[in-house]
Structure formats: structure tokens, C-alpha cells
């Protein structure tokens, strides 16, 4: 009996030891990564260099490409950790992001960001094709070169004491736009990678799908998540808030992946939703250590891809890509900022600050590698280019003013005067026609309302048809099932349709435009009202026509009756006003708390 118990204990100990030995590579690899990262971050911090470069060097030291050091043995686990690192990096970026800030920036940063991205994508693709690389390698190279590094530029401005300068705020505004467009670009590159070809129709469909889900998630998130956080506020401490925020983040990651988007996109969306809540700053503070840990592992994994032999082999393409970034950004970005209405000096200071690639280049490179559409040499080339351009960033920022002095001496004086005058006129231009101002505000509000309510109506209809209708048809016979489906769908979408057709139609701006604006303003208001009415009628007709396909003349009368009921319903007006008020309060909640 004793011997049998001893043998059982011995067997359990053997199993335990075996399991521990199975975990040993995972733990030892993590220890090696963190030791290398810790030493390198201290070294680079003392040298006043970006810590990101320290992580990349640490990854190189811990990789099998470094024969004189211990190396990571379980590459798959490191890859999984780096994927989690991307999720945390994008989630943290979303927490610093604000859709409302984008709207307040005006057109200048948006115009500049679009021009820079399109121009640099062309430069990158052209550079790849000149070296005879495949279309996919060249396309991904263009995507990597299009995005400057928010982290590196922000750190450089901070170290050089330029954070308060006007041009630096403009650069950071452009970087915010680039970050959101980078998410769009990743979706587009994924679509191209899967289809293996560039199809305009498919790309447009992907962009529309992206926009649809972005609006849907943002609106629903802003409406529901602040309510949830208020309900559970008495139960919230640092631990529960952190776990709740991470649960929301990874829940959105899973949902985004399920509908065909990347995990990084889902993390960014949830971060941007939480950024509008009063808990955003606290969540950002709590998530920061976790983001630093897994972000470090991601950048270390980037360094592990560095192969000195490949860099030596491709030293000419590396130097040419660096030159393309330097020349491309200084010329294209200067032109982009000039087009957006900035002075020549401001444009050059902005463009010289953007001459590097960073974290998004690594993320796009990882995307190409994971989808198996880019060659093995591309990743280490991009890492080498990033390291070089990161080191040169402070010097390029300092070089902007001397370069402007040279250009101002070379260009004709009247050209310089013209550029400066255009910028001054752009900055000081004010709308003097009050009626036109009011009309623009009303048009912007109406377009915003149409976009949001249309997306929500489509979502309600899609959910009913995919989930609700099959259940109803299982419970009821065909004629009644269609009627019940139509009634339930109309009931759920009625407040949204009322909002679409009538919300804000009696606002102060509308009344003043109607009373004081003259016949032209009345015609424009009437046309806008008719457009909103027709869109609402289209949704009602679609619901009735698809649930009661053989209704004929009865269906037409039913659609008209439902339309008139929704349009004139005081209960729907009250319900719609309550929904809009709740959404607006949630959206402005953080500003109210800070005030």
C-alpha cells in the first residue's frame, strides 16, 4: 500500500517536472528578452536615443542571428506575444485619439496627410519596382514608407523643447490623421493580399465596409459604454477598471476579426471609444505598464528579424530607400503643407520632421509576413531603414531652418512673398456672410445625422434578417411570419427613421435661415428636408417590400401609412430626442468632467 502510494506520488512528481520542463523554453525566452531589453533601454536612455531602438538592438542580440549570445528557442511564442503587443499598442493609440479633435482640426492636416500618404506610397512602390521586386513587395514597401513615426517625432520634439511650437502641433495633427489612415491602409493591403490583385470595386467595397463598421461601433459604443461604466462605477477600483477595459478591448478584437478586420483595428476602435469617456485618462494610466511590457516584446521581435548578412547583401536598396524617404518627404510633404495653406517656412519645418518610418512600418511589415505575401528580405530592410532614419530625425529637424534660408535666397522674392501671402490669407480668412455660415453648419449637422442614422438602420435591418427573421419563421406560418418580421423591424428602426427625417428640423439655425435667408436659403432647406424624407421612405419601403414581397398595392399603402405615422408621431419625437440627448451627453462627458 505504501509502495503504491509512493509510486503514485512519484508519477505525479514526474508529470509535474515534465510540465515544468515543457514551460522552461517559454520562461527562459521571456527572461532573455526582458534582460536584453532592460540593459538596452538603460543604455539608450543614457545616450538620449529613442528606447524603441534599444528594443530592436535587444531583439538582435537575443536572436539566432547573433552567434555569440544566448538566443530565443521558441519563436512561435514570441510571435504570439508580439501580436498581443500590437493589440496593446493600437489600443493605447486609440485612447489618445479623438474623433472630435479630428473634426476641430479643420481641413489643413487632413489635406496634408492624404497628400503625403498617397505621394510616399507612390515613391515607395516606384523604388521597389526599380529594384525589380514583385508588385506585392513594392506595394507593401510603399505602405511602410507612407507612415511617419508618432513615437519618435513626439520624443524628438519633447527632447528639443519644440512641443509648444505652432509647426509641431500641426505635425502631430497630421500624425493623428496618418494613424487612423494607417488602419484603413492595413485593411486595404490585407484585401489586396487575399485577392492577389488590385480591384477597384473590391477595394471600394472594403472601404465602405470599413466606414460602416467604424461608424456603427463608434456610435453604439459611445451610447452604451459610458452608461455601463456609470452603472458599475461604485464597483470600480484600479483592478476592476483595468480588467473591464481589457475585456472590452479583446472583445472588440474578436468581433473585428469575426467580420473580417484585423485584431489591431478592433483594438484601435475600442481605444478610441473609451477615449471619449471620463475614465479614459485613468484607463490609459492603468494600461500603460501592460502596453510597455507587450510593446517591448513586439519591438524586440522586430529586432529578431534583423539579419546582418541580408543587410550587407541589400545595403544598396537600404541606402536608396533612406534617400527616397529623405527626398520624398522633404519635397512631397512641403508641397502637401503648402497646398493645405501653410507658409513655406512652416511647411519645410513640418516636412523635415517627418523624414523617418517607425512603428506602423513594422506593423505593416508584420502583416505582410503573416499573410505570406512579402519576401523574407523586406522585413530586415525596413528595420535597418527605420534605425537609420530614427537616428537622423533630430538632425533633420534642426536642418529645416537653414534649408529654408537657402531656399528663400534661391527662389525669386516674389515667389516667397506670394507663398507667405497665401498662407496669411488662409489663416486670417473669416466667413463674413452669417447666413452662409449658418447654412454650412446646418448642412454639416444634417449630413452627420443622415450618415449615423442610415448606418444604424442598416445594422438593425441586417440583424433582423439574419437572426430575428429565421427565428420568427420557425415559430409562425409564412404569412404571419412576414408581417411580424416587418412590424418588429419597423418598431426597432422607427426612432432612427424619425431622427433621420426630422431631428433638428425646428432648430434655431433652421428657423433663422427660413425667416431671414431669403428664397435661396429656403430652397436649399426644402431640398435637404426632401432628401431626408426620401431616405427615410426608402428604408420603410425596403422593410415592407422584403418582408411582404407579394403585398402589391396594399404594401404601397402600408408604406405610406407607416411613413406618415413615424413622421408625425410625438412619442417617437420624444424617444428620438432622448436618444440624441444621451448620445450627445456621453460624447461630451469627458469635456464636462475636465471643465
CB atoms under 10 Å from CB of 74, counted, come to 15
Q: Percent of the chain, pLDDT > 90?
A: 5
Q: Burial, 400: exposed, middle or buried (Cβ in 10 Å; 0-12, 13-18, 19+)?
A: buried
Nearest to 156 by CA among 145, 142, 141, 167: 167
Q: Tell me which range, 42-56, 172-186, 314-328, 573-587, is most confidently predicted by mean pLDDT.
A: 314-328
> Residue 248 — pLDDT band, cuts 50, 70, 90?
very high
The 8-class DSSP code of residue 235 comes to G
> Residue 539 — pLDDT band, cuts 50, 70, 90?
very high
* Res 13 pLDDT > 60: no
More confident residue, 86 or 191: 86
Nearest to 295 by CA among 590, 73, 533, 87: 87
The pLDDT of 160-181, averaged and rounded, is 76
Please report the pLDDT score of residue 246 as a whole number: 92
> Residue 397 — pLDDT band, cuts 50, 70, 90?
confident
In this structure, what C-alpha cell is assigned to residue 479?
A: 404569412
* Res 21 pLDDT > 50: no
Looking at 17-26, 142-151, 395-404, 508-517, which range is the least confident one? 17-26
In this structure, what C-alpha cell is assigned to residue 351?
A: 516636412
Looking at 49-53, 76-80, 249-253, 431-435, which range is the least confident one? 431-435
Q: State the average pLDDT for the chain.
A: 80
Looking at 114-128, 341-355, 410-424, 500-514, which range is the least confident one? 410-424
> Residue 428 — pLDDT band, cuts 50, 70, 90?
very low
User: Cβ(88)–Cβ(290) under 8 Å?
Assistant: yes
> Residue 5 — pLDDT band, cuts 50, 70, 90?
very low
Please report the pLDDT score of residue 203 as a whole number: 63
> Residue 422 — pLDDT band, cuts 50, 70, 90?
low
pLDDT tens, position by position, 303-330:
787 777 878 888 888 999 999 988 888 8
pLDDT tens, position by position, 280-308:
889 988 988 888 888 888 878 877 877 77
Q: Burial, 573: exposed, middle or buried (Cβ in 10 Å; 0-12, 13-18, 19+)?
A: middle
> Residue 9 — pLDDT band, cuts 50, 70, 90?
very low
Task: Give the separation between CA 521 and CA 512, rounded to whole angstroms.
Answer: 10
The pLDDT of 388-410, averaged and rounded, is 83
The pLDDT of 499-519, averaged and rounded, is 79
* Res 400 pLDDT > 80: yes
Burial 344-369 (b: 16+ CB within 10 A, else e): bbbbbbbbbbbbbbbbbbbbbbbbbb
The 8-class DSSP code of residue 333 comes to I
Orientation angle between helical segments 135-146 and 315-328, nearest 10 degrees? 50
Please report the pLDDT score of residue 3 as a whole number: 45
Contacts of residue 206, defined as CB under 8 A and 6 or more positions apart, other chains included, come to 187, 188, 191
The pLDDT of 105-111, averaged and rounded, is 73
In this structure, what C-alpha cell is assigned to residue 541?
A: 419601403
Looking at 31-40, 161-170, 222-231, 461-470, which range is the least confident one? 161-170
* DSSP-assigned letters across all residues of 462-501: HHIIIIIHHHHHHHS-HHHHHHHHHHHHHHHHHHHHHHHH
> Residue 202 — pLDDT band, cuts 50, 70, 90?
low
Nearest to 168 by CA among 350, 393, 351: 350
Please report the pLDDT score of residue 201 as a whole number: 65
- Please tell me the total number of residues recorded for the chain in this structure: 595
Amino acid at each position: 500500500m505504501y509502495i503504491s502510494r509512493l509510486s503514485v506520488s512519484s508519477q505525479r512528481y514526474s508529470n509535474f517536472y515534465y510540465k515544468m520542463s515543457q514551460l522552461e523554453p517559454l520562461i527562459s525566452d521571456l527572461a532573455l528578452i526582458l534582460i536584453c531589453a532592460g540593459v538596452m533601454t538603460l543604455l539608450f536612455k543614457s545616450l538620449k536615443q529613442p528606447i524603441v531602438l534599444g528594443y530592436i538592438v535587444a531583439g538582435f542580440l537575443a536572436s539566432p542571428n547573433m552567434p555569440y549570445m544566448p538566443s530565443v528557442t521558441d519563436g512561435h511564442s514570441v510571435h504570439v506575444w508580439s501580436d498581443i503587443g500590437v493589440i496593446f499598442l493600437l489600443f493605447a493609440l486609440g485612447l489618445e485619439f479623438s474623433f472630435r479633435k479630428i473634426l476641430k482640426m479643420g481641413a489643413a492636416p487632413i489635406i496634408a496627410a492624404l497628400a503625403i500618404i498617397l505621394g510616399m506610397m507612390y515613391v515607395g512602390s516606384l523604388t521597389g519596382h526599380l529594384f525589380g521586386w514583385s508588385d506585392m513587395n513594392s506595394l507593401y514597401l510603399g505602405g511602410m514608407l507612407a507612415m511617419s513615426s508618432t513615437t519618435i517625432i513626439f520624443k524628438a520634439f519633447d527632447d528639443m523643447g519644440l512641443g509648444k511650437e505652432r509647426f509641431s502641433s500641426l505635425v502631430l495633427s497630421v500624425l493623428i490623421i496618418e494613424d487612423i489612415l494607417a488602419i484603413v491602409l492595413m485593411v486595404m493591403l490585407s484585401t489586396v493580399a487575399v485577392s492577389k490583385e488590385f480591384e477597384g470595386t473590391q477595394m471600394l467595397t472594403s472601404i465602405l465596409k470599413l466606414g460602416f463598421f467604424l461608424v456603427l461601433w463608434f456610435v453604439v459604443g459611445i451610447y452604451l459604454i459610458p452608461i455601463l461604466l456609470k452603472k458599475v462605477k461604485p464597483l470600480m477600483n484600479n483592478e476592476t477598471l483595468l480588467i473591464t477595459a481589457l475585456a472590452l478591448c479583446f472583445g472588440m478584437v474578436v468581433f473585428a476579426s469575426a467580420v473580417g478586420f484585423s485584431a489591431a483595428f478592433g483594438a484601435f476602435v475600442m481605444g478610441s471609444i473609451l477615449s471619449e469617456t471620463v475614465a479614459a485618462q485613468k484607463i490609459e494610466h492603468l494600461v500603460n505598464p501592460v502596453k510597455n511590457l507587450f510593446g517591448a516584446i513586439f519591438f524586440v521581435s522586430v529586432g529578431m528579424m534583423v539579419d546582418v548578412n541580408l543587410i550587407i547583401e541589400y545595403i544598396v536598396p537600404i541606402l536608396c530607400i533612406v534617400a527616397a524617404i529623405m527626398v520624398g518627404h522633404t519635397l512631397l510633404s512641403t508641397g502637401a503643407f503648402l497646398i493645405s495653406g501653410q507658409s513655406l517656412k512652416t511647411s519645410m519645418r513640418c516636412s523635415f520632421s517627418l523624414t523617418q518610418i517607425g512603428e506602423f512600418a513594422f506593423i505593416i511589415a508584420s502583416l505582410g509576413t503573416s499573410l505570406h505575401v512579402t519576401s523574407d528580405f523586406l522585413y530586415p530592410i525596413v528595420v535597418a531603414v527605420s534605425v537609420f532614419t530614427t537616428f537622423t530625425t533630430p538632425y533633420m529637424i534642426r536642418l529645416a531652418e537653414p534649408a529654408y534660408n537657402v531656399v528663400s535666397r534661391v527662389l525669386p522674392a516674389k515667389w516667397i512673398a506670394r507663398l507667405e501671402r497665401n498662407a496669411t490669407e488662409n489663416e486670417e480668412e473669416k466667413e463674413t456672410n452669417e447666413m452662409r455660415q449658418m447654412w454650412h453648419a446646418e448642412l454639416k449637422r444634417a449630413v452627420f445625422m443622415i450618415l449615423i442614422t442610415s448606418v444604424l438602420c442598416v445594422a438593425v435591418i441586417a440583424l433582423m434578417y439574419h437572426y430575428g427573421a429565421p427565428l420568427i419563421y420557425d415559430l409562425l406560418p409564412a404569412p404571419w411570419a412576414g408581417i411580424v418580421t416587418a412590424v418588429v423591424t419597423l418598431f426597432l428602426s422607427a426612432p432612427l427613421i424619425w431622427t433621420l427625417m426630422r431631428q433638428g428640423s425646428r432648430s434655431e439655425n433652421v428657423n433663422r435661415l427660413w425667416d431671414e435667408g431669403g428664397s435661396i436659403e429656403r430652397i436649399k432647406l426644402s431640398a435637404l428636408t426632401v432628401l431626408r424624407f426620401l431616405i427615410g421612405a426608402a428604408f420603410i419601403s425596403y422593410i415592407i417590400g422584403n418582408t411582404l414581397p407579394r403585398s402589391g398595392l396594399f404594401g404601397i399603402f402600408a408604406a405610406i401609412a407607416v411613413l406618415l405615422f413615424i413622421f408625425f408621431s410625438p412619442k417617437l419625437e420624444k424617444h428620438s430626442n432622448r436618444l440624441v440627448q444621451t448620445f450627445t451627453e456621453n460624447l461630451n462627458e469627458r469635456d464636462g468632467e475636465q471643465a
